[in-house]
Amino acid sequence: MQHETLESALKLLLGERLFLDTASRISYGYDGSFGQYVPEFVTQPLSTKEVQEIVKLANRFNEPIYPRGAGTNLSGGALPVHGGIVIDFSQWDEVTIYPNDLIIKTRPGVKTSTIHALAEAHQLMYPPDPSSSAVCTIGGNLAENAGGPHGVKYGVTKDYVIGLEVVTAQGELIRTGGQTIKNVTGYDLTKLLVGSEGTLGIITEATLRLIPKPKATQTAMIVFKDLESAGRSISQILTSGVRPSKMEILDHHAINKVVDYAGLDLPRAAAAILLVEVDGEPDALTKEMETIRVALEKIGVEHIEIAKTKEQEAELWRVRKAVSPAVVESGYTKISEDATVPLSKIPHMFKKISELKHKYQLSIVVFGHAGDGNLHPTINANMRDKTAIQNVEQAVEEIFNYAIELGGTLSGEHGIGTMKKAFMTRELGTEGVAFQKAIKQALDPDNVLNPGKIFPAEGETRLVLHND
């Protein structure tokens, strides 16, 4: 009876943009992580007013809300774990650039790649660039604070958000920040909401800052015989006076997967390779590469290949882009982690992962954003094999614990979602989690917005990948 009333109210509000059939509902029940849930309603609002109305209805009928972009996220942020109402933002894709103010205003459904293209058409740049940028939406990037290879020089999504329009858990409309890069008027709700995984408010518009697009780039591949020197090279480069725009690492196993999958020409025997990009004034780049070469020579690293043409450079970045598909291609399910450690601890993490590989008999490749300490140990396992699943769960748990022990974090860029919430207390302590919960409680006392994420359930302390 109550269900019918909510249904008719949503129908009245959204018409054809409300989906109730089982096939539609099932197709909104998963994301790039694990688990499958079925929401009761799938909605596609196209205005702030409609979002406000949906939230007010959700409050009235006591239904949870699950905002969603393209569903590419890797930590369960978009999963409708308690059913309820999915808000699919993918169709709401208005976007405007203001080149003289160096800003873009965007609705949540705009693809990240659209924002990149729009900025570049005006000699500007929007640096955050998650691997999924061709398909993912800015709304999802905002919810999860997406990163990408530009992080080492240019930071992550949050660093480019200067203002938000937000629908609160009660359906009220607020604006945070504004159109200026600097703003210290009251609390920084913009940076609190970006990365809060849709649990504190629903972002309906964002103002993004852009930066001047560098004139040129140059890329080098550095080849290592052992992981220790690869690790040492990262700090060595970053203290040489050059600021690389990308610094990506692939371990031995990642290198070989890529060679097998894409037939790219890489040193199969290397312990690791580091891809380093510098950007800026064209003539400076060769000098910067020379500075890097000299700095590395001092610690005995000598094998550096600098791309001589744009084609060679593109080829090197194809290597990095090929890692993920190569892992998927090689069979079974990909479990992609993003534990992040202080720069000097990268070799320790490499060593630990190598041990876990043997201990749990797992296929693990390691690659990631070396300049941020943000590694992606990526496991490939048969998720129909119960023993394999348990091994994966235990290995991932050991990676989390070790990252925390090294002074790092559970998640560098994928978010907590459902995947990592069991470990929140280990990193933040009871008081730390209580402080975070106090904010959630204050802003969403009825737990309407994306419930079941970030905070562990009572007694939840283990990673569970299977969905029994």
402-431 binders of a second copy (CB under 8 A): 407-416, 420, 424, 427-429, 431
Under the binding rule (CB under 8 A), the answer on residue 63 touching a second copy is: no
Q: Which of 438, 446, 461, 466 binds a second copy (CB under 8 A)?
A: 438
> Which of 112, 217, 123, 109 is CA-nearest to residue 160?
112
Cβ proximity to a second copy: between 179 and 447 the closer is 179
Q: Are 198 and 67 in contact (CB under 8 A)?
A: yes
**Rounded Cα gap, residues 367 and 377, in angstroms:** 7
Under the binding rule (CB under 8 A), the answer on residue 56 touching a second copy is: no
Under the binding rule (CB under 8 A), the answer on residue 441 touching a second copy is: yes
Cβ proximity to a second copy: between 360 and 402 the closer is 402
* Number of residues forming the site for a second copy (CB under 8 A): 99
**Whole-Å CA distances, 366 to 163, 191, 194:** 36, 30, 28
**Rounded Cα gap, residues 201 and 177, in angstroms:** 15
**What residues between 181 and 210 interact with a second copy by CB under 8 A?**
181-189, 191-192, 194-196, 200
Using DSSP, state whether 168 is helix, strand or coil. coil
Under the binding rule (CB under 8 A), the answer on residue 24 touching a second copy is: no
**What residues between 82 and 101 interact with a second copy by CB under 8 A?**
98-101
**What residues between 102 and 121 interact with a second copy by CB under 8 A?**
102-103
Q: What is the DSSP string of 354-392?
A: HHHHHHTT-EEEEEEEGGGTEEEEEEEE-TT-HHHHHHH
Quote the least distance from Cβ 325 to a second copy, whole Å.
23
Q: Which of 29, 151, 198, 452 binds a second copy (CB under 8 A)?
A: 151
Residue type, 331: G
Under the binding rule (CB under 8 A), the answer on residue 174 touching a second copy is: yes
CA of residue 391 relative to chain centroid, distance: 25
Under the binding rule (CB under 8 A), the answer on residue 168 touching a second copy is: yes
**Rounded Cα gap, residues 140 and 69, in angstroms:** 5
Q: Which of 31, 53, 144, 251 binds a second copy (CB under 8 A)?
A: 144
Cβ proximity to a second copy: between 33 and 411 the closer is 411
> E strand or H helix at 5, and its extent?
helix 2-14
**What residues between 318 and 357 interact with a second copy by CB under 8 A?**
340-345
Number of residues in the chain: 468
Under the binding rule (CB under 8 A), the answer on residue 280 touching a second copy is: yes
Structure-token pair, residue 106: 């965007």
Q: Are 169 and 65 in contact (CB under 8 A)?
A: no
Under the binding rule (CB under 8 A), the answer on residue 239 touching a second copy is: yes
Q: Which of 8, 180, 387, 461 binds a second copy (CB under 8 A)?
A: 180
Q: Are 8 and 60 in contact (CB under 8 A)?
A: no
Under the binding rule (CB under 8 A), the answer on residue 288 touching a second copy is: yes
For 39-110, list the strands marked E by DSSP. 41-43, 65-68, 85-88, 95-98, 103-106
Under the binding rule (CB under 8 A), the answer on residue 436 touching a second copy is: yes
Quote the least distance from Cβ 169 to a second copy, whole Å.
10
